[in-house]
Structure 1
């Protein structure tokens, strides 16, 4: 073996050794780049600059396709612009890459519930609630309660919603469904009380005003019912 071939082999060994150790550094750098681009994508979404947000989020998954928050944000963005198939694909990828994470499971569950797949949504809410590192289990409980309410499972819905309110008594996402649930049970005074609690912490919406009108009509309070109806007409003059 000539000295040059010997040196070449040594050089090759050194290069291969460097290549074998480089991915660990590259993985960390790629994850950091994915995190940065996901954060930027979220900021651009908040500003309504969806095209730039989409570019940043796609870049994030390009750096690290296993970074679940990037897929979740892509799901949120796609759903906001009506691309529900793409949104579902991204939400599912997020859970695939981080199956025990509370945030990604809650987001997939909420998406499924919004799109008529309530039964499939519930296990994801359960996973979110059981994640000890998930900082907002009360939100997942509220979402699970609303989803059960949509299925007509009133007892299950009440259990979830009351658990949510133990975390935060002022949570709008639990108070409004509790008002609706109470109305469905013909417990109109309790429905009114929950709706008033909701109105104290959240702006009026078409859903809350419509529920208020129905509650006050059921209670025979014509003046209050008329106020809700008038507010509804400001939102939708044709309604």
Structure 2
């Protein structure tokens, strides 16, 4: 039963990272760097809009629209725009990467996986696609496969989103039950980006599950100490940590904040029931 409860707690905490992963994916899709015509490349010139061929311009505009629609949750419209981008440039890795995200959101796992693999066939060391495919696999409980793609993303040349990938990798390791590795990975993510509340809360959650309550308190305080960063998950985790430390008044204080600010949340409902181990 305890492992099931831990899985439920961690499932709740992954709401912190879903936005992180998808925003990162959007950035990758929005930054469509289409190749310069050969003449411009040979001259060593800086790329400008005048260097774009008509297919490149059409593909770029379609990808920008697709990314915006995807961000707004208009998945069918986003998919239409991706199809138009691929009609302009059939072998555009960014389009297949975004298509994978869209199909994953639509629940079509087969086409999502095919899209990610096609993107990687075209650009095997693209860190954004490797990250997104790893996250896709993790969400489906395929933790060992996900680990491979996260590691490849982290080792990809010129990849600049290591803290993002380490965050998602650490949460996936925790979901898979490997708390020791999850702690190490999330600690690395925290060292790279200490200001990310998702990293601090997920690291605190792992430490809580390991019984290291004082250390868990340190990290969750970094989030709850700033009102604008708090949410139902961070307040509920803080309440449970304080209860484990024997600070019942502190647990009630966080629980009351949770109930007042997020009265409809499942965390507030758990506090109302006194279900601290839920």
When the two structures are superposed, what TM-score results if normalisation uses the length of structure 1? Answer: 0.78
Q: Which has the higher contact order (CA 8 A, sep 6+)?
A: 2
Counterpart for residue 11 of structure 2: none
* CA RMSD across the alignment: 2.8
User: Aligned pair 1:112/2:137, yes or no?
Assistant: yes
Q: 1:87 deviation in Å?
A: 2.6
**Out of 166, 181, 206, which is 1:181 matched to?**
206
Q: 1:28 deviation in Å?
A: 5.7
User: Aligned pair 1:85/2:91, yes or no?
Assistant: no
CA deviation map 1:59-80 (0-9, x unaligned): 1223333222112222222333
Counterpart for residue 6 of structure 2: none
Counterpart for residue 196 of structure 1: 221
User: Aligned pair 1:219/2:245, yes or no?
Assistant: yes
Q: 1:182 deviation in Å?
A: 1.0
Give 1:60-209 correspondences, 5 Å limit: 60-199=85-224, 200=226, 203-209=229-235
Counterpart for residue 9 of structure 1: none
1:33–1:120: structure 2 CA closer, same or farther, 3 Å change rule?
Answer: same
- Conserved? CA contact 2:97–2:129, under 8 Å: yes
Q: 1:201 deviation in Å?
A: 8.3
1:55–1:178: structure 2 CA closer, same or farther, 3 Å change rule?
Answer: same
Q: 1:178 deviation in Å?
A: 0.9
1:150–1:201: structure 2 CA closer, same or farther, 3 Å change rule?
Answer: farther
CA deviation map 1:118-174 (0-9, x unaligned): 110111111111123112111111111111112222222222222212221112332
Q: Secondary structure in 1 aligned to 2:264?
A: helix
- How many equivalent residue pairs? 216
CA deviation map 1:64-112 (0-9, x unaligned): 3322211222222233333333333322322232111111101111111
Q: 1:185 deviation in Å?
A: 1.8
Query: Bigger radius of gyration, 1 or 2?
Result: 1
When the two structures are superposed, what TM-score results if normalisation uses the length of structure 2? Answer: 0.68
Separation (CA, whole Å) in 2 of partners of 1:65 and 1:189? 54
5+ residue gaps, structure 2, are 1-37, 40-51, 271-278
- Conserved? CA contact 1:209–1:232, under 8 Å: no
Q: 1:212 deviation in Å?
A: 2.6
Separation (CA, whole Å) in 1 of partners of 2:177 and 2:122? 32
- Runs of 4+ more than 6 Å apart: none
- Conserved? CA contact 1:195–1:212, under 8 Å: yes
Structure with the bigger percentage of helix: 1
